[in-house]
Each structure stands twice: as structure tokens, then as C-alpha cells.
Amino acid sequence: MRIHKEGWMYCLVATLLFALFIFGVNAILGNYPFITMPLYVLAGLLWFWVFWFFRIPSRTFTTGDNLVISPCDGKVVVIEETTESEYFKDRRIQVSIFMSPLNVHVNRYPINGTVPYVKYHKGKFLVAWHPKSSTENERSTIVVKGTKAEILIRQIAGAVARRIITYSKTNDKAVQNEELGFIKFGSRVDLFLPIGTKIHAKIGDVVEGGIHTIAEFA
């Protein structure tokens, strides 16, 4: 396991603040261990959580030209047929994965292909499971055109997340399971797949990015 590059500064700041907090508490309340010990434990848990949030665990990825691999860690909260109005402007199967603040927050390409479209949208910060968060929240849209189909990936900021990082650029080559971005502190990723795609995921499934198969092209 290692720390993601997006977390280096946060981890450094957290470590400095933790050290200053311990020093300050010890200087002021050092003679009262029944007060200082709970404070030390609480500060230590917060410090550990920052490092835990930005972790990248070692994984053996799942691959396949006809497979749509999960783009992130989280819980499947939506599987439905809907109209995608930004790029395709037609009916698609939407699969949404909610990432809690405890999940790994790396976002990965679900398929191989090329990237014909990338667009960032400013927006609101509704809770990530809100039905309108896909179209009203801060978000980035990435389209990948593969050999089997063209899909849309949408990174969505939640009530806690305030910064979406998107590495994808128009005309990039998309490599299945490689990083396309990162969302900080709680969020959601939507996939828009062609009608007729075989969906393997089910509502409530807990999935891991790069490992679990979300769907399969015919």
C-alpha cells in the first residue's frame, strides 16, 4: 500500500498539526493524563484517517475487452435506464457507485479506448446519493470510445467533496484500470452504458475499483 500523490500535502499538514496539537496539549494539560489521553487518541485517529483516505492498496486487476470494470470503490446505489442529456442525448443504462469517506478514492478507466470528450461542470454540492446530483452537482464528464462500445463516466462531488481531479484529456488513450482522476472526501461515479449491456452488478453491491466487473458487452 502507498499514499496517492494527491494526498502528500494533506498528510504532511496533518502530521504537522498532530505534532503541534500533542505539544500544546502536553504543555497545558500535561499534569492531567485522564484528559490528555483521550485527546491524544482522538487526534491520532484523525491523523490516521487522513493517511487511510489517500491510500492506494496493492491489487491484481481484472481485464477484458468486453468487460466494464468498476471505476472506483464503493456501493452500487443506482441501476436504471435513463436519458443521458449531455453527450449521447439518448437512452442509456446508468450505474452509480457511491464512495464514502472511508473508501479508496482513485477513479479508473472501466474499458480500453480513446477519449473523445472531457468536460468539467461547476455546480452544487448535494449529497452524492441525491437523484439530481448527477446533473446539478460539481462534476466532470469523460467519454471513452472502446472497440465494443462508447461509454460515459461522470465524477460527481458530494456534500463533503469539494474538489474533483480529472487527469483525462481529449484524445487521450484510455487504458483499462489506469487512473483517470481522484475525488476528495466523499463522492460518486456514474457510468452510462449502451442499452442491451449485460449488467453484472446489483443494487447494494460493494465493489472495488479495477477488480469487480460491473457489466459486459454482448
Do 53 and 99 touch, CB atoms closer than 8 A?
no
Catalytic residues: 187
Mean pLDDT per block of 10 residues along the chain (218 residues) reads 85 92 85 84 91 88 96 96 96 94 91 97 63 68 96 84 84 97 84 97 97 96
pLDDT tens per residue, range 7-22: 889 899 999 998 999 8
Q: Where does residue 81 rank: exposed (0-12), middle (13-18), buried (19+ CB within 10 A)?
A: exposed
Do 78 and 154 touch, CB atoms closer than 8 A?
no
pTM: 0.84
Q: Tell me what pLDDT residue 194 has.
A: 97
Q: What is the 8-class DSSP label of residue 65?
A: T
Residues in the chain: 218
Which among 178, 208, 167, 190 is positioned nearest to 70, based on CA atoms?
A: 208
